[in-house]
Structure 1
Amino acid sequence: MNDGNTALNGVELDAAPMTSGAKSLVSDLMALARLRIVAMVLLTMLVAAWASSPGPFLWGQALYAAVGVGMVVVGAIVFNQRMEWLSDARMERTANRPIPSGRISPHAATAMGATITVLGVAMLAWSANPALTGLAVLSWFIYVGMYTPLKPVSVWQTAVGALAGAMPALLGTAVVGGWESPHGWVLFGVIYLWQFPHAMAIAELYREQYAKANVRVAPVVDDSGRLVTWLTLFGATALLGLSAAAARWGEFSTPGGWALILGAVGYLVGSLWFVFRRNAFTARWLLRGSLLYLPLACAAFLLG
């Protein structure tokens, strides 16, 4: 009887690490996929699809596209981390990611990224929407083939990366074929310009870590701060101009137009505060403001 209990206890003790290991692997795979970023991308795509739809919104079509696009996005994110794992290991904020920490090997990440990318592209190609499939592949290439290699080379990686970040607006437009609607194009511009102050705030907060990892962001390249000022104010002022123009042309309802304009005004105020008093405190507030602005902008498009 005691022997049976001992054997049973032995089985339980042996099984516990396996269960813990499986949970740890799932957690690492989810961390590698960066699901919060994927969710933000898909939300933006669906907002663009809703706003630019020329007819009744087809939820089945949109959700199918979201699954395929989501897979391509995950593939791009995995490849990005695979390519950057050495520089990630030098930065405190990224050193504990699955690849630099050694929990997932670079070869396994390559296999995962390639597999999920191919499956996502195949799923989109099966939908017989060549514009959507082509834009998804283009987005992947800009992010993996252009933005990621530019990060240790040129400060202009910010402008290139912003292109990839804004592509969900066009992907959403492609889902419904709403190319005649200006909403998808305006949302593309809004997200593209929004990223400049957002990226400068992050770069300022982690300037020393970026320098250690040889990531050529503006605060690392230009100690004078002029480049940071230019990029921040370019994005914020152009965003306000685009928002005002879109509202003025009557492409938004009154609540949607005002929400877009007031959000852009607040973003510009935060950007001005940051460039005139550039430090960790103002950078952190600008970053928080940027994260509040994006859902406000999406709400404006839904209202519009």
Structure 2
Amino acid sequence: MATSLPPDASSRLADDAARHPADSLRRKLSALLSLSKPRLTVLVVLSAMVPYALYPVPAFLSSPALATAANIPSLSPLTLLFLTTGTALCSAAANALNMLYEPDTDAKMTRTRTRPLVRRLLTTRAAVLFAVGCGGVGTLALYWGVNPTVAFLGFANIALYAGAYTPLKRVSAVNTWVGALVGGIPPLMGWAAAAGESAVADGTWRELLFASDGSSLGGWLFAALLFAWQFPHFMPLSWGIRDEYRAAGLRMLCWVNPARNSRVALRYSLVFVPLCLGLCAAGVTEWSFAVTSTPVNLWLVREAVKFWRFEGHKGSARGLFWASVWHLPVIMVLALAQKKGLWTRVWRSVAGEPLEDDEFGDDEDDEWIEDAAAGSAVGPGPVSR
């Protein structure tokens, strides 16, 4: 299985750095970028962007004329820029700190032995400065460009990944669950970023993450989806290199308890069907998403059943790993393509038909507009910094 994995981006960048003179700018930049684990960082950013795009914006925000008349912001490309930039920098910081913590164990594993700190392509001081710089700038970008709640989540992800997950790898197999929590936070960041732009009260974390009207449910469903996905993805991946994990002293279920390793992968693969149904019920996607996502989810379940029956043997680990690789982007694209009300708005825009007053909700939307308009007379509006 290990030989069938795609080339590691960090290793390829480290190889590129090693081919250049020690004092060259190309070598330094490639080595620093390698610290960020680029492919993982891209996945983290995308997992924040999708919930941001799927956030059910109130009806009047979809109309630039109304937004201008009420002097209230709509979802902003500038906010999205700060969200993606800040999230990418926070992810880069967490990954760099991870590499700083375990160069000795990285040196014992095929997947990680070519990382820049193992090969001494960078000094420890340079890696620390890179991690601290990315973490600081990323958190500030989220604070000033998005909102304090998202900034806190971004910083918390750095602390959880580098301060809890990484050292726990040597102690207990529970590290995988902590790592899954790390994967579930970026979707909450994207959701809270969009919620902050349409907040009607003080825009605190309570309103953005625990709204009394249940509008926060979509963000938590996406967080649960990313949390659950880690297990059918990582369990077969780790099984393929279980002997290396054992030799490096990293306590993963793949060698500590192989039978439980496969059961956990199967257990979490089963939750995607109800999670996708939940997104429909929460008004994030159309009900058609429940239909189109089911074949993809059942494919993942089928491969997880094989992985459980054969405990990774007979190609079952490889089958589940690649199913998980394709599963997440397909689910995300399907959700984006079936956002609640998207095609109705597209059709009416093309056909020139006016939008009905109750298309996006009931009288609550009218109250939303009245509250927001009144806010302009009494003080600052939603927190979106």
Q: For this structure pair, what is the TM-score category when the shorter chain's length is used for normalisation?
A: 0.7 to 0.9
Alignment partner of 1:45 is 2:48: yes
Q: Shift of the alpha carbon at 1:19?
A: 9.3
Conserved 8 A contact 2:169-2:252: yes
2:223 pairs with 1:188:
yes
Matches within 5 A, 1:90-239: 90-127=108-145, 129-177=147-195, 179=208, 180-222=215-257, 225-239=258-272
**8 Å Cα contact 2:32-2:130 kept in structure 1:** no
Deviates further, 123-132 or 139-148: 123-132
* 2:55 alignment partner AA: S
Contact kept in structure 2, 1:51 and 1:184, CA below 8 Å? no
Provide the identity percentage. Answer: 25
Whether the 8 Å contact between 2:20 and 2:27 is mirrored in structure 1 is: no
SS in 2 for 1:87: helix
Q: Secondary structure at 2:250's aligned position in 1?
A: coil
Deviation readout 1:42-70 (Å, 9 max, x if unpaired): 11111110111424432111112211121
Q: Is the 8 A contact 2:52 2:193 kept in 1?
A: yes
User: Once superposed, which parts of structure 1, at least 4 consecutive aligned residues long, lie more than 6 Å away?
Assistant: none
The SS at the match of 2:24 is: helix
CA distance 1:17–1:96, shift in 2 (3 Å): closer
Q: Tell me which protein shows more helix as a share of its residues.
A: 1
Answer yes or no: is the 8 Å Cα contact 1:52–1:181 preserved in 2. no
Give distance in 1, aligned partners of 2:314 and 2:93. Answer: 33
Any gaps of 5 or more consecutive residues in structure 1? 1-15
Residue 229 of structure 1 aligns to a residue whose secondary structure is helix
Change in 2 beyond 3 A, CA 1:47/1:246: closer
Report if aligned partners of 2:41, 2:91 keep a CA contact under 8 Å in 1.
yes
Q: How many aligned residue pairs are there? A: 287
Instruction: Say whether the 8 Å CA contact 2:217–2:282 is kept in structure 1.
Output: no
The alpha carbon displacement at 1:275 in A equals: 1.3
**Alignment partner of 1:296 out of 330, 335, 357:** 330
- Aligned match of 1:12: none
Distance (whole Å) between structure 1 residues aligned to residue 290 and residue 36 of structure 2: 35
The structure-2 alpha-carbon separation of the partners of 1:133 and 1:240, relative to structure 1 and needing over 3 Å to count, comes to: same
* In structure 2, C-alpha distance between the alignment counterparts of 1:274 and 1:249, rounded to whole Å: 32
CA contact (8 A) 1:131 1:174 kept: yes
Contact 1:87 1:213 in 2 (8 A): yes
Partner of 1:25: 28
State the 1:249 CA deviation.
6.1
Give the distance between the partners of 1:250 and 1:175, measured in 2 at CA: 18
Q: Distance in 2 between matches of 1:280 and 1:162?
A: 27
What runs of 5+ residues in structure 2 fail to find an aligned partner? Answer: 1-18, 63-74, 197-207, 209-214, 340-385
Q: Which residue matches 1:3?
A: none
The RMSD of aligned alpha carbons is: 2.1
Q: 37-46 or 20-29: which moved more? A: 20-29
CA contact (8 A) 2:146 2:193 kept: no
Contact 1:124–1:133 at 8 Å: present in 2 too?
yes
Greater Cα shift, 197-206 or 251-260? 251-260
TM-score normalized with structure 2 length:
0.70
Q: Which moved more, 1:61-70 or 1:204-213?
A: 61-70
Partner of residue 83, structure 1: 101
1:68 has 2:103 as partner: no
Give, in whole Å, the separation in 2 of the partners of 1:167 and 1:259: 26
TM-score by length of structure 1 reads 0.88
Structure 2 residue matching 1:177: 3-state secondary structure: helix
